[in-house]
Amino acid sequence: MLITLRLCLAALLALSLCTPSSDVGEPRPLRLLHFSDLHGSALHLQRIVDYMAGQELDDAIHTGDGVMCYYDDENVFESVPGGRRVLNTIGNHDCWKGHLVWAQTDKPYDATKEDVYSRFFVGPDPENPTIAGWGVCQPSGVNDPESPDYQACYYYKDYPGSCARLIVLDCMHYDSAQEAWFEATLSQAREAGLAVLAVTHYPAEFGMVPYDAALTPHGEDYPQASDPDAVQVESMTDLAFRAVDKFIDEGGLFVCWLSGHNHNDYVGMVKRHERQMQILVDKAGELDHYMQDADRSAENTDAFNIVTWDPVRRELSVERVGCADGYHGKRGFTVPAASR
């Protein structure tokens, strides 16, 4: 089952085209498989890996919560053949050692960035770290114990043939060092003429206004709150969105945020940052009471997206593979590309 969402960003941004080097040729579309909140499901990861084998994809990105519940739970990205090739993001459950509970604190996630880096980015064999196979660029101080970027769980990856940069952030340990790195990485992308897709587990701190698309539920604001300035307890700091605003103001091309956490599909414009789109994807793992997709069955068990950025047409498309509610009775959504 496919749901297609095409979004023309020219109406949102004033942009400059990337000029690829002569050995690259005309820019080609970037194709990413986006899934999230696997929560320890080896079955669904295997199905995704098998799907990847038959597709022309640049990468697969998982936007956090790979473990069933706690930090020490099985890391299926290590146990499922082919799972190590998936780019990963740190989520809240990946940082939850279980020592703290919700009754005691609203932030029970006590794994340090060094803990999660060792477990999810290095893996069981330090001589063959998982992240070494991703082809990504890490902070220069990632291996320096004296650096504020030591064992940082953020990185970027360039796709020169598509004039694009994917930037992955760690929402669980966002600090001044990560903020400085993010701003510098955005600035470098702008100078290189690269469009940016940003990745984080959590949705935006102040929520989103729905974008009229097939993967937006019922046309409601997220979160549904009477206070328009309500802050979400589990959310990506607004500082990151301010950094993107600066990037756009200085002439950078921002495509979208890719996220998860809520076990819901949602496409919206970030509140207070109306030029930024955030795309949440439903839970990829087993059906549970949080999930909104009531049509999952043994024959319809998957829930992940194919995200395509076309640098020539400046068009973003999202295709659902697997189940979806088909909000508003729609199975797809298109915005014609505007003239430039």
Q: What would the pLDDT profile of 32-44 be if each residue is shown by its tens digit?
A: 999 999 999 999 9
Number of structural domains in the chain: 1
Structure tokens, 129: 């770290």
Between 308 and 326, the higher pLDDT residue: 308
The answer as to whether 340 is a domain residue is no
Instruction: Provide mean pLDDT across the span 287-307.
Output: 66
**Average pLDDT of the chain, as a whole number:** 83
Residue 163 has pLDDT above 80, yes or no: yes
Residue 225 has pLDDT above 90, yes or no: no
Cα 298 to Cα 43, 301, 302, 307, distances in angstroms: 12, 6, 9, 25
The answer as to whether 19 is a domain residue is yes
Where residue 109 falls among pLDDT bands split at 50, 70, 90?
Answer: confident
Where residue 181 falls among pLDDT bands split at 50, 70, 90?
Answer: very high
The answer as to whether 189 is a domain residue is yes
- Percent of residues, the chain, with pLDDT higher than 70: 76
Cα 46 to Cα 49, 76, 178, distances in angstroms: 5, 9, 32
What pLDDT is stored for residue 22 in this prediction? Answer: 43
List the CATH number of the domain containing 124: 3.60.21.10
Where residue 302 falls among pLDDT bands split at 50, 70, 90?
Answer: confident
Between 249 and 224, the higher pLDDT residue: 249
Least confident of 17-21, 65-69, 207-211: 17-21
Domain enclosing residue 250, as ranges: 4-334
Between 205 and 291, the higher pLDDT residue: 205
What 8-state DSSP symbol labels residue 126?
T
Do 193 and 159 contact (CB within 8 A), yes or no? no
Phi, psi of 304 (to 5 degrees): -150, 165
Do 214 and 5 contact (CB within 8 A), yes or no? yes
The answer as to whether 339 is a domain residue is no
Cβ neighbours around 98 below 10 Å, total: 12
The answer as to whether 74 is a domain residue is yes
